[in-house]
């Protein structure tokens, strides 16, 4: 128990640590912190065989992004307990639970004012991923360490970028992924919109 309290103090803003711990003890889910994943910031899963809930969060998120992602996944757990698989993953039921579970920490003690303003607007109609909201994403990113990467969602169609040591061009945006052309092979791939990519400037031939 003590180690989980310390984990929350380490990864989320101090004023929210006790609340995050209370959510964990109340719902009794398995909580894992994972290495950075290109396709997701966190996830929620229910194992029918063992009847266990599991929430995982990436370890490279800043405290404010970590907290938002954690609450996002807890809202999935609550929605699953209430409705099972009868509702859409990011439907109105999940949105209502996300807003409800976030309300106790939606204040200036927990978040800097710019983040709080962006979150307040975001919670008027929460999206599947926080990086899908450009205003919220850009505000949260201000609290990241130095990085040359951005999520694919922030690139315009036609932009060129590097991902996993390959160069691609973004062709078409789907709901949560984009169709991208791998320059070397000419093949098209679906890449997650939250994948961290490095923009590449195309040199003019003139």
Domain ranges of the chain: 2-141, 150-200
From CA 174, how far away is CA 6, in angstroms rounded? 39
Dihedral sign computed on CA atoms, order 66, 74, 21, 28:
negative
**Phi–psi pair at 10, nearest 5 degrees:** -80, -35
How many Å is the maximal CA-CA distance in the chain? Answer: 64
- Three-state secondary-structure class, residue 14: helix
Question: Closest Cα to residue 152, out of 184, 185, 116, 179?
Answer: 179
- Residue 124: how many CB atoms within 10 A of its CB? 8
pLDDT tens digit at each of 206 positions of the chain: 667 788 899 999 999 999 999 999 999 999 999 998 877 889 999 999 999 999 999 999 999 999 999 999 999 999 999 999 999 989 999 999 999 999 999 999 999 999 999 999 999 888 766 666 778 888 888 888 777 788 888 899 999 999 988 999 999 998 788 999 999 999 999 998 878 899 998 654 44
> In sequence order, what DSSP letters do the residues of 133-152 get, joined into one string?
SHHHHHHHHTTSPS-S-EEG
CATH class entry, domain 150-200: mainly beta
The pTM (predicted TM-score) of the whole model is 0.78
């Amino acid at each position: 128990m003590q180690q989980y309290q310390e984990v929350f103090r380490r990864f989320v803003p101090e004023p929210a640590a006790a609340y995050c711990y209370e959510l964990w003890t109340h719902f009794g889910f398995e909580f894992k912190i994972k290495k950075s994943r290109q396709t997701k910031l966190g996830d929620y899963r229910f194992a029918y065989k063992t009847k266990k809930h599991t929430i995982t969060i990436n370890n490279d998120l800043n405290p404010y992004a970590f907290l938002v992602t954690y609450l996002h996944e807890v809202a999935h757990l609550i929605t699953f307990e209430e409705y099972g698989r009868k509702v859409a993953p990011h439907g109105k039921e999940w949105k209502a639970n996300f807003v409800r579970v976030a309300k106790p920490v939606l204040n200036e003690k927990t978040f800097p004012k710019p983040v709080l303003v962006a979150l307040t607007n975001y919670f008027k109609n929460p999206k599947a991923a926080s990086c899908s909201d450009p205003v919220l994403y850009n505000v949260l990113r201000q609290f990241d360490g130095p990085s040359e990467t951005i999520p694919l969602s922030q690139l315009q169609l036609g932009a060129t970028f590097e991902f996993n040591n390959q160069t691609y061009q973004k062709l078409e945006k789907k709901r949560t992924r984009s169709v991208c052309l791998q320059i070397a092979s000419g093949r098209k791939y679906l890449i997650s919109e939250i994948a961290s990519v490095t923009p590449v400037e195309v040199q003019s031939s003139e």
